[in-house]
Amino acid sequence: MKAIVVRGPFRYGMEEIPVREPGPGEVLIRIEAVGLCGTDYGILSNEMQYYKTGQAKLPIVPGHEWAGCVEKVGPGVKEFQVGDQVTGECTVRCGFCSYCQEGRPHLCENRTETGVMNRDGGYAQYITFPAASLHRVSGISMDWAALVEPAGIAMQAVKRADIKPEDNVLVIGPGPIGLLAAQIAKKICGAKCVIISGTRDERLVRAAAYTDAAVNIRKEHLKEVVLKKTGGHGIDAVVVAAGTSGVFRDCENVMAPGGRISICGFFDSAKADCNWDFISTNSIDIRGSLGSPNVWPFVISCIESGRLDVENIISHRMTLESTEDFQRAVDMMQNRTDDACKIILYPNGVKHEPKCN
């Protein structure tokens, strides 16, 4: 089969590699759609945190946002059959360590992460995957099914922020995760006021249907907008979907006492100063948010029912048949050309139009 293989920093391309037969408890899946993510670029450059620490090793087939159809089931698999439309979790747990036993599989001591850490992902024509980390989808396009993973990341970040209907919420960063988090805060959690901030108008405009304000911080004063929209109260919960040097300064300027900050965005090399006296004297909680543990069935139900609109973040659909195809998509994402937001790729050359119930 054809697959994108990363072998070193910026050493990657389309290769012919074997299709691995499914073993006990595994399923062979034909990949129908895969989403391009900023994390993929961190893998291509080897700047992603796991590669810096040595937790992840090359070579790897990246791609952690994927969906496809079951082609073959391995011994012992009863819950899936040929033809099922499925998507798989990024974190594949061991099921035996203390974290797994506590219901925190995203912290599993022996975990792999699909297309990210020591497990091949979806930039390939096929993937062999454990049935225990697989989910069936119904009545939606494969494009939408591929976006269950980023929607799960956003859902977990919102959960960590403990957003309630009476809350005023700020989402920092209008990338795909931030846009989904803002939508979840408003439409799923029913937050009183949801504001999203960033620097790109073409991203911010996507949030117009489900936010109370979209603030370009290069053109507007964030604090003024927040105070106006919240009647002077300020922000109760912040979801940081993009780590930048000014994140905690923005939080300090707009947060009400007793607020919560949930961080799912990577900072990479950005150094973010924090006024810790503000944090302590205002009893602000800061919570990290990793992965999407235990939320996949709910996220799938939200997409299938139309409560969560993942089509909102898709900007491009492209085939993935060569190294040049992949490079074109990566360049578009990194250079932010043509208003790129979420790019969907098709390793088997078939485009899938949106579908609803």
| 230: pLDDT strictly greater than 70 | yes
Which CATH number is 160-288 given?
3.40.50.720
Per-residue pLDDT band for 300 (boundaries 50, 70, 90) equals: very high
C-beta separation of 178 from 242 below 8 A = yes
What number of H helices and E strands is found in the chain? 12, 18
Per-residue pLDDT band for 352 (boundaries 50, 70, 90) equals: low
What is the model's pLDDT at position 11?
A: 97
Q: Average model confidence (pLDDT) for the chain?
A: 95
| 323: pLDDT strictly greater than 50 | yes
In this prediction, residues 242-255 reach a mean pLDDT of: 92
pLDDT digits (tens, 9 = 90+) for 115-127: 999 999 999 999 9
- Same fold across 2-136+309-346 and 160-288: no
- Non-local (6+) Cβ contacts of 105 within 8 A are 91, 93, 95, 99, 111, 293, 294
Residue (of 341, 310, 348) closest to 150 by Cα position: 310
Tell me the two tokens of residue 110. 């022996």
The DSSP annotation for 238-251 comes to: EEE-S--TTHHHHH
Superfamily of domain 2-136+309-346: Medium-chain alcohol dehydrogenases, catalytic domain (3.90.180.10)
In this prediction, residues 16-21 reach a mean pLDDT of: 98
* Domain chopping of the chain, boundaries: 2-136+309-346, 160-288
> First CA to last CA across the chain, in angstroms?
33
Note the pTM of the prediction, 2 decimals.
Answer: 0.94
In the block, tokens 């990024």 appear at 90
In this prediction, residues 144-167 reach a mean pLDDT of: 98
- Measured between alpha carbons, how far is 321 from 297 in angstroms, rounded to an integer? 31
| 347: pLDDT strictly greater than 60 | yes
